[in-house]
Amino acid sequence: MSNTASAAGQPARRDLANAIRALSMDAVQAANSGHPGAPMGMADIAEVLWNDYLRHNPTNPAWANRDRFVLSNGHGSMLLYSLLHLTGYKDFPIEQIRNFRQFGYRTAGHPEYEPGGPIETTSGPLGQGLSNAVGMAMAERMLAAEFNRPGHNIVDHKTWVFLGDGCLMEGISHEACSLAGTLKLGKLICLYDDNNISIDGEVGGWFTDDTAKRFEAYGWQVVPNVDGHDAAAIAAAIEEASADPDRPTLICCKTIIGFGSPNKQGTASTHGAPLGDDEIAATRKELGWKSAPFDIPDDIASRWDGKARGASDENIWNVIFANYNAEYPDLANEFRRRMAGKLPSNWSDFADKAIAEINTAGEKVATRKASLIALNAFARALPEMAGGSADLTGSNLTKHNGSVPISGDDAEGNYVWFGVREFGMTAICNGLRLHGGFLPYCGTFLTFSDYARNALRMAALMKIQNVLVYTHDSIGLGEDGPTHQPVEHTASLRLMPNMSVWRPCDTVETAVAWRDAIERQDGPTSLILTRQGLPHQNRSAGQILDIARGAYVLRDSDGVPDIILIATGSEVALAVSAAEALTADGVNARVVSMPSTDVFDTQDAAYRESVLPAAVTARVAIEAGVTETWWRYVGSHGRVVGLDRFGESAPAEELFEHFGFTTENVVAVAKDVLK
């Protein structure tokens, strides 16, 4: 159907698209804040996709085999909210649209993910929605390879992305899209809003890439020069994209930002500001839209309603799944469990046994190796674990005994060679989790977590699980020097809301940290791990249980402690050595291992007091990093043995001695505190 033609008694496609334009410009005007340009420019594209191609069910946003839709250019959020309202999602009634960008409403300035809701990811930081979508498309392909059987395609859906110039300027788009081409993610289809405008104006002064050739070089199919305001041209491009099973597709849609605004369309003035009452009135006249603000005519509302079609699509899939369940009941049950994000029923007993075995072995290894030991143990019970490393597999030790790498030709596996793509890797793993069916983890050197930081922040903000394996955690890296020595990174991660951080001291603490990361489903976890070997610490059964509380008394004094030494990771053994020396000098010294400050901070007051009694004000914290986060534990009478400067290039042993991480110096500091 053309933009203007309509079936008997039915509104034209352009009228349907204009409903998006009207809602978007009116909502932005009511809020006196927002971005009307992208929704108005992409309205025709959205109308074709959502009414003719997108498989979704407004009455069940969490349907497992729905298509995933990602608005990567998230500033155009009113486009998505308009679509959710028009197609019949109950959480997006007209009152949500009227209250765009207001406190307590779902229509935030940028789309925000809620578990079980229709918004697939939080987008706004440009390029990350696109990268999340690559993870979703990977998840679909990997799950299909694992669960589908001849005649039973229970996993078979597409991932659709809307994106703009800004998404493609961001470097993360290169990281993610390059990998997407290599992995042949043919069910990933991106519609590019090529309107030649960003906030600063016409992009010709700063963005002159040959985008089509760029994506062709990635191994993508490119459909160029599509008129983004011609429904037939858009549909033809989508058909072409869908016909290629082996290549992701970029559809380059030529659009006019703020389409319909007679005096502002095609200019940056529509990008991030309300049109104004006079221009909105003129736009209504230009579009032939006669309805009052937030009023959708019944005939247009009826054509948009997607509930019946969505229910039909899901019912068809339900029959497919019922037949699958009859023939492969065990696989069906496993698929349900995986998509629900539930751990196996025997998980707790399995984890207890694995940790006990690791404790009995008592190996003296680097905690990066301890992490692999834990992975080898836990992955046996968790087929949903999928991960990789940013070109540091042999250093991060992220490839466990059950790891099977995926490729463009074979997606049946659970390990990804991410290449040197720290930011893209992390955002892709966020997408794996958002899709469902996987528990993602990814590794790099701790110092390179900076490259990935905004993806870490997005995982924390969305409250989604992602396990970050960060090795080579301090000056213990040694000869690679200060460029690779992450003195400030652990503290920085601890400052991020909803980021759980563990810096374990041996194999047992590392296993407990991994268990916590696996069981924590409402946020990401950073595991901070050493390059150098660390000794096993002897513990009672009760002490092993207390590790999960974030901090515990590892070595106690005979009586009330005179001083408490608090340490993490590689410095725990140093604290134990210093405590032994202090004890020999008649000082009652307690050692507290605190692998996770954030977990400890959530414990009840009585437990925290039992570990760090308020009456004992003589305290020394020891960590080979910046001191900033430790003063709240040692107080005004305490001291921190740390490193408030960058490191040096030298063997690790020399660096630890040079910077005062020695038994002699810790003892001296402790005695000074006791004066």
Q: How does pLDDT run across 265-314, given as a tens digit for each residue?
A: 999 999 999 999 999 999 999 999 999 999 999 999 999 999 999 999 99
- What is the structure's pLDDT at 4? 54
* C-beta separation of 189 from 160 below 8 A: yes
Q: Could you tell me which of 644, 647, 652 has the C-alpha nearest to residue 482? A: 647
Q: Where are the alpha helices (DSSP H) in 183-265?
A: 211-218, 231-242
Average pLDDT score over the chain = 97
Measuring CA to CA, which residue among 73, 76, 72, 93 is closest to residue 84?
93
- The residue that leads in pLDDT, 5 or 438, is 438
User: Model confidence over 360-411: pLDDT tens digits?
Assistant: 999 999 999 999 999 999 999 999 999 999 999 999 999 999 999 999 999 9
Question: CA 627, 633, 635, 637 torsion: positive or negative?
Answer: negative
Instruction: Please write the tens of the pLDDT for every residue from 456-503.
Output: 999 999 999 999 999 999 999 999 999 999 999 999 999 999 999 999
* DSSP reduced 3-state for 308: helix
Give pLDDT tens digits for 558-571: 999 999 999 999 99
CA distance 412 to 135: 15
Angle formed by the axes of helices 37-48 and 231-242, nearest 10°: 60
H helices of 554-647, in order, are 571-584, 597-601, 605-611, 631-634
Among 284, 317, 370, CA closest to 595: 370
Strand order through the sheet with 68-71 = 68-71, 159-164, 188-194, 249-254, 221-227
How far apart, in Å, are the Cα atoms of 133 and each of 62, 164, 218, 432, 488? 16, 14, 16, 9, 31
pLDDT for 670 equals: 98
Active site residues: 422
Confidence at residue 10, expressed as pLDDT on a 0 to 100 scale: 82
pLDDT at residue 6 in the model? 53
Interstrand relation of 589-593 and 552-555 (parallel, antiparallel or unpaired): antiparallel
Grade residue 12 by pLDDT with cuts at 50, 70 and 90: very high
Of the chain, the percentage scoring pLDDT greater than 90 comes to 99
pLDDT score for 376: 98
pLDDT given at position 8: 57
For helices 347-361 and 367-378, the axis angle rounded to 10 degrees is 140
Label residues 138-166 b or e (16+ Cβ within 10 Å = b): bbbbbbbebbbeeebebbebbbbbbbbbb
Rounded Cα–Cα distance for residues 664 and 227 (Å): 74
Give dist(CA 22, CA 12) in Å, integer: 15
Pull the structure tokens for residue 581: 């020396």
CA–CA gap between residue 85 and residue 97 (Å, rounded): 8
Phi, psi (5° rounding) for residue 639?
-140, 160
Per-residue confidence (pLDDT) for residue 1, from 0 to 100: 41
Look at residue 81 and tell me whether its pLDDT is greater than 80: yes
Decide: 112 and 122 in contact? Cβ < 8 Å. yes
Measure the CA–CA gap between 155 and 67, rounded to whole angstroms.
10
- Provide the 8-state DSSP code for 51: I
Band (pLDDT 50/70/90 cuts) for residue 9 is: low
Mean pLDDT (whole number) for 241-270: 98
| CA 444 – CA 174 distance, rounded (Å) | 19
Q: Choose among 493, 378, 350, 489: nearest CA to 441.
A: 378
Question: Tokens at residue 98, please?
Answer: 């009227």
Q: pLDDT tens digits for 135-174?
A: 999 999 999 999 999 999 999 999 999 999 999 999 999 9
| Residue ranges of E strands in 90-236 | 159-164, 188-194, 197-198, 201-202, 221-227
Mean pLDDT of the 334-350 span: 98
Cα(112)–Cα(127) distance, rounded to whole angstroms?
15
Give the DSSP H/E element, type plus range, for residue 519. Answer: helix 507-519
Q: Report the Cα 195 to chain-centroid distance in Å.
A: 29
Mean pLDDT along residues 34-54 = 98
Please provide the distance, in angstroms rounded to a whole number, between the alpha carbons at the two ends of the chain. Answer: 86
- Token digits for 5? 């033609």
Which uninterrupted H or E stretch holds 37? helix 37-48
Q: For 247-266, what is the mean pLDDT?
A: 98
Q: Are 258 and 78 in contact (CB under 8 A)?
A: no
Which string of b and e fits 240-272 if b means at least 16 CB within 10 Å?
Answer: ebeebeebbbbbbbbbbbbbbbeebbbbbbbbb
